[in-house]
């Protein structure tokens, strides 16, 4: 039974129960499973009337809101491909995604109309763009009111792509990981079992919905279980603690930055969170001190798990049993994980550090229209090369030891330095640049740009920051800009980032 079959079943079994509760300062909008089914069916009819066909890419550059959920589910039900995008992308970045995916429809927020409209003429595949007033559910309900619920058959082909998540690489521009109905179902089934999801769970959802963590693990996870997802449009530590207490929630999923802010919130320990049964942490390494501080403050032990866009979740510490500090736990049911030599792909013995490689029904089928990059991402015998370094303990627990790829993780968001460096290279005053991550207690890492200006073109760090703010989504903007005379290079002219990291942020690590 696929995720969508399960959801349809839940809509019948739990018809009157809230599937979603969207919380804003104006109040709570509750959507029962019956209403969810009804609205998604009407949304499907709306999409069909606008020509949506099997396999079409439909881009959702929307803030976190109920219409996002309806559209996303309706797109997948029609066997089209949902393409969620960070609403913070400036036009420059958004254009790339729409063009690369050859998206046929775009849904964006009304407030982005002026910024987005000039892009539309230069997107030949795009057949329509809808600007929605997402400020309340009633507007969307009015928008689709004329459409009676569609009666489309359930998708049958589990190998069909239903979701595309863009991830960046060490070379070139971001690429779309193609996740199939089968991938999502396999991962949700594994997590359902591993984390003991229950229909009476109440998930407090504070993550963005344009990534695997917030969209699949959290939102789909709750809907798959027939549980209730209480959605906050953005994360706020005090509101989170208040809602966890007042709504008697049972599950919260976060990234380390979120957990650190919860621990640091005023009167954090005073909230009554006894009904909580699961706090998970992922998307970045959970620091040991935070693991302990969380336990000391809330009396709950964070469950760290590991995953990536291409695979969904890979390993998890156990629900019952030892949640080992510094470890990402054991492979999820149905997921094979091995440690292999990063150059030869030879499996390595327990205790040896090598590349983490993954195989299973959860692993994406490849990158959208990028057969060469897909071929490089997999070993000849079908294991996905994660680019993460790690080891397996003799008792099966995995521990991550760094990354073989040039990647920064800030607040749980992945930032590939070449993306920022490419933007910097277009600035007339930049002769050369290197973008590195410096350790930071709150964010995990902070993006730092080291720049050699052209001798004849004076520029200030503030000007570079302002330029980046215009061309990059907020989390990729360097928090620190350093102007230097030259960058350390090896004999072949390659910039020595490890040396920069150790000189500028006092880091000695395996990354080169
Ligand atoms: C926001 N800012 C960031 C940032 N997030 N800067 C660096 N790194 C980030 N991650 C910027 C904002 O643009 C803003 O800039 C300034 O920081 C302060 O914003 P804030 O309001 O304090 O931050 P906030 O909006 O509260 O965001 C913090 C956060 C958020 C932790 C809630 O980063 C977040 O939701 N992270 C979750 C990421 C996630 O879901 N990752 C999953 C990827 S899937 P300015 O200039 O406007 O002041 C994946 C697979 C897996 O990795 O295994 O899960």
Point out the ligand 1 atom lying closest to the alpha carbon of residue 254: 37
CA 340, chain centre distance (Å): 26
Compute the average pLDDT of residues 192-215.
Answer: 98
Ligand 1 mean position to 455 CA, how many Å? 35
R_g of the chain computed on alpha carbons = 23
Q: Which residues is 59 bridged to in the sheet?
A: 83, 106
Indicate which residue's Cα is closest to atom 17 of ligand 1. Answer: 475
Q: Which of 167, 184, 149 is nearest to 76 (CA)?
A: 184
Mean pLDDT of 38-46: 98
Q: pLDDT at position 508, please?
A: 57
Q: Kindly report, residue by residue over 120-162, the tens digit of the pLDDT.
A: 999 999 999 999 999 889 999 999 999 999 988 999 999 999 9
pLDDT band at 512 (very low <50, low <70, confident <90, very high): very low
Q: What band does 467 get if pLDDT is binned at 50, 70 and 90?
A: very high
312 lines ligand 1 (CB under 6 A): no
Please answer whether residues 452 and 459 qualify as being in contact, where contact means their C-beta atoms are separated by less than 8 angstroms.
Answer: no
What homologous superfamily is domain 407-504 in, according to CATH? ANL, C-terminal domain (3.30.300.30)
CB 381 within 8 A of CB 366: no
Q: How confident is the model at residue 509 (pLDDT cuts 50, 70, 90)?
A: very low
How confident is residue 470, by pLDDT bands cut at 50, 70 and 90? very high
The strand pairing partners of 432, in sequence order, are: 452
Q: What is the C-alpha to C-alpha distance for residues 104 and 127, in angstroms, rounded to an integer?
A: 5
Question: β-strands 303-308, 81-84: how paired?
Answer: unpaired
Nearest CA to ligand 1 atom 6: 475
The CB of 307 under 6 Å from ligand 1? The reply is: yes
* Ligand 1 contact via 478 beta carbon (within 6 Å): no
| Residue 430, CB-side half-sphere exposure with 13 Å CA sphere | 23
Q: What's the whole-number average pLDDT of the chain?
A: 96
Query: What SS3 class is residue 280?
Result: strand
pLDDT band at 402 (very low <50, low <70, confident <90, very high): confident
Find out whether the beta carbon of 257 lies less than 6 Å from any atom of ligand 1: yes
DSSP class of 150? P
**Using a 6 Å cutoff on CB, does residue 410 contact ligand 1?**
yes
Which residues share a beta bridge with 367?
177
Residue 53 alpha carbon to ligand 1 centre in Å: 34
Could you state, in order of their start, the residue ranges of all structural domains in the chain?
407-504
Q: Are 91 and 61 in contact (CB under 8 A)?
A: no
Does ligand 1 lie within 6 Å of residue 84's CB atom? no
Contact between 273 and 244 under an 8 Å Cβ cutoff? The reply is yes
pLDDT tens by residue, 318-349: 999 999 999 999 999 999 999 999 999 999 99
CA neighbor of 507 nearest in space, from 286, 442, 499: 499
Strands (E), 95-174: 105-109, 128-132, 161-167
DSSP assignment, residue 322?
A: -
| Ligand 1: residue whose CA is nearest its atom 30 | 411
What residue's CA is closest to ligand 1, atom 38? Answer: 412
- Is 211 near ligand 1, meaning CB less than 6 Å away? yes
Quote the CA–CA distance of 433 and 469 in Å, as a whole number: 17
Q: From its phi and psi, is residue 281 left (phi > 0), alpha (psi between -120 and 50) or beta?
A: beta
Model confidence at 511, in pLDDT bands (50, 70, 90)?
A: very low
Which atom of ligand 1 is the closest one to the Cα of 447? 7
Any ligand 1 atom below 6 A from CB of 168? no
- Taking a C-beta distance cutoff of 8 angstroms, is the pair 400, 355 a contact? no
């Amino acid at each position: 039974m696929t995720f969508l079959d399960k959801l349809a079943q839940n809509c019948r079994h739990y018809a009157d129960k809230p599937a979603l509760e969207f919380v804003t300062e104006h109040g709570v909008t509750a959507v029962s499973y019956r209403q969810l089914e009804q609205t998604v069916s009407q949304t499907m009819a709306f999409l069909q009337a606008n020509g949506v066909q099997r396999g079409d890419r439909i881009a959702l550059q929307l803030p976190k809101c109920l219409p996002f959920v309806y559209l996303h589910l309706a797109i997948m039900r029609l066997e089209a491909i949902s393409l969620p995008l960070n609403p913070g992308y400036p036009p420059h970045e958004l254009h790339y995604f729409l063009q690369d995916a050859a998206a046929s429809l775009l849904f964006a927020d009304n407030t982005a109309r002026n910024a987005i409209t000039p892009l539309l003429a230069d997107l030949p595949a795009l057949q329509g763009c809808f600007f929605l007033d997402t400020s309340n559910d009633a507007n969307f309900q009015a928008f689709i009111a004329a459409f009676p619920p569609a009666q489309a058959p359930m998708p049958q082909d589990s190998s069909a792509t239903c979701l595309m998540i863009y991830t960046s690489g060490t070379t070139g521009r971001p690429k779309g990981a193609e996740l199939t109905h089968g991938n999502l179902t396999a991962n949700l089934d594994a997590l359902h079992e591993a984390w003991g999801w229950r229909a009476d769970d109440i998930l407090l959802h504070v993550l963005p919905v344009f990534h695997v963590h917030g969209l699949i693990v959290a939102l789909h996870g709750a809907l798959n279980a027939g549980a209730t997802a209480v959605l906050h449009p953005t994360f706020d530590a005090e509101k989170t603690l208040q809602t966890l207490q007042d709504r008697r929630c049972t599950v919260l999923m976060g990234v380390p930055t979120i957990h650190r802010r919860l621990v640091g919130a005023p009167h954090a320990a005073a909230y009554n969170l006894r009904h909580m049964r699961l706090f998970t942490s992922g998307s970045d390494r959970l620091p040991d001190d935070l693991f302990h501080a969380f336990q000391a403050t809330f009396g709950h032990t964070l469950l760290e798990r590991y995953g990536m866009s291409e695979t969904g979740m890979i390993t998890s510490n156990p629900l019952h049993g030892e949640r080992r500090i510094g470890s990402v736990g054991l492979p999820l049911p149905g997921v094979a994980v091995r440690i292999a030599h990063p150059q030869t792909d030879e499996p390595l013995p327990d205790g040896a550090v090598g590349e983490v490689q993954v195989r299973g029904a959860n692993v994406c089928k490849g990158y959208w229209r990028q057969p060469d990059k897909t071929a490089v991402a997999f070993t000849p015998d079908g294991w996905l090369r994660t680019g993460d370094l790690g080891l397996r303990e003799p008792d099966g627990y995995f521990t991550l030891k760094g990354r073989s790829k040039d990647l920064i993780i800030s607040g749980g968001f992945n930032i590939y330095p070449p993306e920022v460096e490419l933007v910097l290279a277009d600035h007339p005053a930049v002769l050369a640049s290197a973008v590195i991550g410096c350790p930071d207690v709150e964010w995990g890492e902070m993006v730092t740009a080291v720049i050699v200006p052209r001798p004849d073109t004076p520029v200030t760090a503030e000007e570079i920051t302002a330029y980046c703010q215009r061309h990059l989504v907020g989390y990729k903007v360097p928090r620190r800009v350093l102007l230097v005379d030259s960058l350390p290079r090896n004999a072949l002219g390659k910039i020595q980032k490890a040396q920069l990291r150790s000189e500028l942020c006092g880091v000695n690590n395996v990354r080169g």
